[in-house]
Amino acid sequence: MCQAYNKLGAPAVWKVALQVQSVPGGGHAPVRGDSTRHAKRKAEPEISEPVSVDVTVMGSVHRVGEPLQLDCEATGLPAPKLSWTHEGIEVRPDGHRSLLPTKLSWTHEGIEVRPDGHRSLLPNSTLYIASAAMSDGGEYHCTGRNDHSEASASVKIPIEEVPVPENCRDDAKLANCNLIVKARYCTLRQYARICCRSCLLAGQIHKGAIDNLIS
C-alpha cells in the first residue's frame, strides 16, 4: 500500500502488488562494467630462405692498368647483408678503391675489401677497380649473411704483369716507392719519375705515358 497526504482533505491511498521472479540459472544479474574487449593478436610466422651467393667476373684476361669488375648477386630472406674480402682482408676505401652504399661483403685472400679510391663497391654489389695493380690479384670472396644463414662464393683473379721498359726504374735513394704508391702520389710527375716501375705495376701510370714522363 502506498499513501500520500498533503494536509488538505483525506490522504490518497494506492494498493501496489510486487511480483518477484528468480534470475534464470540462479545467479545474480551481471554488474555493468568496462565493455572493452581485448583481442589477442596472432604472431605472424617469420618467413626465411637460405642465403645463396653467386660471383661473376667481367672478362677473362686481367692486366695491370686495366679495369677489373666483379659482380656479386645474393638471394635469401630476410635480405642478406653482403661484404667483400681480398686475400682475407676486408675491402676498404684507400684512394685505390671507393665504397658506395651496398649490402655486400667481399674478401680478397681472406681480407675484407673496402672502398679506398682504388676499388669501388657499387650499389648493385659490384666490386670495381678502374686501374688494376699487381697487388689486386688473388682470391676474392663475396659473403652474404642474415639472421638464419650465411653463404659465400669465391673467385681467383690472376693479374698479368705489364712489361716494364728498361728506362722505367725506381730510385730508392730519392724516395720510398712503397710509400709513394700507398699514398697515391704517382699522379704527381716528380714522384712518378722517381718511382716509375712501382707506379706502373700499381696501375697508377700507364705504359704509354712513360716516354713522355721520363723525357
Q: How far is CA 157 from CA 116, 138, 141, in A?
A: 19, 5, 11
Q: What is the CATH classification number for the domain harbouring 130?
A: 2.60.40.10
Residue 145 CB contacts under 8 Å (≥ 6 apart), including other chains:
51, 80, 81, 82, 105, 151
Whole-prediction pTM: 0.66
Residue 187 domain boundaries = 177-214
pLDDT tens digit sequence for 158-169: 999 889 999 999
C-alpha cell at 193: 719519375
Q: Which three cell numbers stand for residue 54?
A: 653467386
Structural domains counted in the chain:
2
Is residue 54 located within the same domain as residue 105? yes
CB–CB of 72/142 below 8 Å? yes
Q: Say if 13 falls within a structural domain.
A: no
Domain boundary among the residues 157, 189, 204 is at 157
SS3 85: strand
Looking at residue 21, what is its pLDDT? 67
One-letter amino acid identity for 82?
Answer: L
CA distance 58 to 146: 27
Categorize the per-residue pLDDT at 174 as very low, low, confident or very high, splitting at 50, 70 and 90: very high
